[in-house]
Amino acid sequence: MRTEPRIWWVNQGDSYIRARDGGYLWAPTQTKNGGTPFDHWRNMRYLREGDYVVNYANTQIRAVSVVTAKAVPSGHPDPADQAWSDQGLRAEVEYRELEETVPLGQISAEWRTREQGPFAKDGGVKQGYLFPVSDAFARRLNATFPQLGLPVGAFVEGEVPPKGSGYVEPSLETIVDAIRDEGMTISPDMVRRYHLSLKTRGFVVLSGISGTGKTWLGEAYARAVGAKSLLVPVAPNWTTNEDLLGYLNPVDGAYHDTAFSVFLRQAAAEHASAVAASRAAQPYHLILDEMNLARVEQYFAKFLSAMELRMRSTAGYIELAPDNAVALTANLCFVGTVNVDETTHGFADKVYDRSQLIELTISREDVLDHLGTRPYASMLTDVWAVFRRVAPFAFRVLDEVNSYVDEAAEIGVSWQVALDEQMLQKVLTKVKGTDLGLGAALEGFLEIAADQFPLSHAKAETMRSAYIEHGFTSYF
């Protein structure tokens, strides 16, 4: 449904002049508060050299631009703009302003409502940034407003933009690039294993120590493949299916849905719509975060049976209430993240039988790669290596250390002082227990910290003394 080169629509508003003068398009890779970016921001990843962009600003199409270089990570081009995150993706483009602009009102409302994409159901422009447009819409737009000069074929009378095209899965290479573009340190082979596991079973369990990126992988992969996703944190007090699925109120006879059961219904509705229209259905990914905080065999019991049925037929069914069931269709995938520690429950064999288990690990090379060119990269990697077996930490801690050091630099604190404070506050707090390797680990850390990091060295010395005396140590 897309031309080569492809055609895009960008809503720029007040940023249009700055972007035109700078010759770029730019969108954040996260919200101001560090949240998940919107789909219309993530579309920046799919811009390619030679693509055309319709530049819309302040109620009219003001220019048509050509992408001269694909989007790459970049800081905010306008530091004075505090509305968004300061990290994003920037594509270089060449602007051609129109002598005769195209007001939105001159574009048929019927075309806009049919196209959707950058347009809302009422035909107005969505509050979004970058959207692809269909060939049919681009041809009709170009035929009516030849000043646009879009590289599309002739408009055929009677042709209308489609209401929706079938889902097309990106290539594995594109998926890997999209995930790594988000800043995640992960090997292509690990992404491939996850990709194949979802296709094989539709239920993947991601395990690993805290901070290895299990939840991030689930969400980043869903974004990369264009799937709808829902993250559901599991609570330790869940004991029944109703905790996850909702319940039927016997008083008023109404079913009280949860976000989880609503998502199931949406996935089933999308699948039914796709079958009726003879198109591929959009995937839906349901992520259960820390799913073994409660006993999986209790709150997830209905799904374990239904998944087995789905493997033998086109769909299994979950009965929510009498005469109220929802299908587990082929476009619906389940992902569970698990930590293995004293706060979690083990899995029964039937959970492993019905899932693909992938353990996310972290190596010395991964740590070095993640820390990049920071002056303390080698030193912090040595600390990681010392504690990896008795008090492991991963990317979440590394990112927090980096953030702390960066904030400290803003107020004139050296990275050496800041790193000392972070090893005290984030690394040594994980060291506890009676493991036979703790003594050697603390000695190794003391060698690294000697004459450089007085705060963490003093604390580690106290902890080592406690271990020698009592055979047990902890931060407190």
In the prediction, which pLDDT does 315 show?
A: 60
Q: Does some domain include residue 165?
A: no
Structural tokens at position 189: 């082979």
Structural tokens at position 61: 């199409």
Residue that is last in its domain, among 313, 337, 359: 359
pLDDT, averaged per 10 consecutive residues of the chain (476 residues), comes to 71 91 91 71 88 93 95 83 76 95 89 82 85 85 91 58 62 87 87 92 89 91 91 89 86 86 90 81 92 84 77 70 83 89 70 85 91 92 94 92 93 95 95 93 95 94 95 93
| CA–CA separation, 440 and 237 (whole Å) | 39
Which strand ranges, in their side-by-side order, compose the sheet holding 356-359? Answer: 228-233, 284-289, 332-338, 203-207, 356-359
Instruction: Supply the angle between the helices 188-200 and 214-225 in degrees, to the nearest 10.
Output: 70
Please tell me whether residues 15 and 89 are part of one structural domain: yes
* Residue in 397, 281, 279 with CA at minimum distance from that of residue 332: 281
Here the CATH number for the domain that contains residue 129 is 3.10.590.10
Residue type for 71, please?
A
Please tell me whether residues 230 and 355 are part of one structural domain: yes
| Backbone φ and ψ of 134, nearest 5° | -75, 160
In the prediction, which pLDDT does 286 show?
A: 93
Please tell me whether residues 107 and 251 are part of one structural domain: no
Residue 67 in contact with residue 90, Cβ under 8 Å?
A: no
The DSSP symbol for 426 reads I
Please tell me whether residues 32 and 122 are part of one structural domain: yes
Instruction: Supply the angle between the helices 438-449 and 454-470 in degrees, to the nearest 10.
Output: 160
Please tell me whether residues 396 and 441 are part of one structural domain: yes
Please tell me whether residues 206 and 341 are part of one structural domain: yes
Residue 200 makes CB contacts below 8 A (sequence gap 6+) with 356
Would you call 228 exposed, middle or buried from its count of C-beta atoms within 10 A (0-12, 13-18, 19+)?
Answer: middle
In the prediction, which pLDDT does 61 show?
A: 96
Q: Does some domain include residue 153?
A: no
In the prediction, which pLDDT does 466 show?
A: 95
| CA–CA separation, 177 and 184 (whole Å) | 10
Residue 196 makes CB contacts below 8 A (sequence gap 6+) with none
| Backbone φ and ψ of 193, nearest 5° | -60, -45
Please tell me whether residues 185 and 309 are part of one structural domain: yes
Residue that is last in its domain, among 96, 113, 148: 148
Residue 402 in contact with residue 385, Cβ under 8 Å?
A: no
Structural tokens at position 402: 């980096």
Please tell me whether residues 25 and 142 are part of one structural domain: yes
Q: Could you write out the three-class secondary structure of 263-291?
A: HHHHHHHHHHHHHHCCCCCCCEEEEEECH
| CA–CA separation, 200 and 333 (whole Å) | 10
Q: Does some domain include residue 161?
A: no
Query: Which run of H or of E encompasses 216?
Result: helix 214-225
Residue that is last in its domain, among 115, 148, 181: 148
Q: How far is CA 109 from CA 123, 129, 147, 158, in A?
A: 6, 20, 20, 16
Please tell me whether residues 263 and 204 are part of one structural domain: yes
pTM as predicted: 0.62
Q: Does some domain include residue 167?
A: no
| CA–CA separation, 346 and 328 (whole Å) | 25
Structural tokens at position 208: 């690993």
Q: Does some domain include residue 164?
A: no
Query: Which run of H or of E encompasses 76?
Result: none
* Residue in 79, 77, 100 with CA at minimum distance from that of residue 89: 77
Query: Which run of H or of E encompasses 13?
Result: none
Please tell me whether residues 18 and 120 are part of one structural domain: yes
The count of structural domains within the chain is: 3
Here the CATH number for the domain that contains residue 326 is 3.40.50.300
Note down the domain range covering 384. 364-470
Question: What SS3 state is found at 139?
Answer: helix
Q: Does some domain include residue 1?
A: no
Q: Does some domain include residue 163?
A: no
Please tell me whether residues 354 and 372 are part of one structural domain: no
Strand partners, 94: 66
In the prediction, which pLDDT does 166 show?
A: 66
* Residue in 210, 166, 197 with CA at minimum distance from that of residue 285: 197
Please tell me whether residues 181 and 134 are part of one structural domain: no
Q: Does some domain include residue 97?
A: yes
